[in-house]
Chains A and B, each alone.
Chain A
């Protein structure tokens, strides 16, 4: 069945460091891929998405490229800020868009 695997956290970085959070997936057909972010005490917010192979999603300095050959959608940011501290979830939509499959989340702590 469809599934998402993402790197375990927590990830602790200093401000302005480079961020990579790995995400790989298994899916039937050609899913869309997403990164959601959850700030403390808040709901899930869409960060970025990509709908087909080789698409790059980007938002707020974050980027991720849909790699069909490696079934990956790694999240990157060149220079993290303290305000980026949150839990990041990788997700894919089922082929019929009836549900999402989420990874277990990666907690990011950014220290000043």
Chain B
């Protein structure tokens, strides 16, 4: 069990640029989740996948955000035309199966938009 991994750990970008983050879940986990955490707050749900299907998206996920999980394994989160308000920690989590309640979190990608 290698845990959930995320890449990169830190990303600094200029406003208006596009960024993409990657998440590799625990290998046998078929559910994958994205959260956003701002300073001093708890994580907020963005979206989740069951295998390759994206089943729910939060209203926080504006049309500048897109997430994919093409083969039901790793996932990518892309932010287009970044804004300073996008600066946050982006967390990925995975869980074993439908109905399993424990989510295991990766270390996060910290995004800073200048």
Contacts and interface: CB of A to CB of B under 8 A. Distances in A.
A43 B35 CA distance: 12
Interface residues of A, number: 23
A103 B41 CA distance: 8
B48 A99 contact: yes
Contacts of A73: none
Contacts of A34: 102
Interface string A9-46: 00000000000000000000000101010000011111
A75 interface: no
Interface in B8-41: 33, 35, 40-41
| Interface size of B as a range | 20 to 34
Nearest to B31: A97
Query: What is the predominant secondary structure among interface residues of chain A facing chain B?
Result: strand
A105 B40 contact: yes
Nearest to B3: A43
Contact of A36 (B4, B40, B100, B105): B105
A91 interface: yes
Contacts of B44: 102
Nearest to A36: B105
A42 B107 contact: yes
Contacts of A89: 42-43
A105 B98 CA distance: 27
B91 interface: yes
A97 B33 CA distance: 11
Contact of A98 (B43, B55, B91, B104): B55
B43 A97 contact: no
A24 B44 CA distance: 18
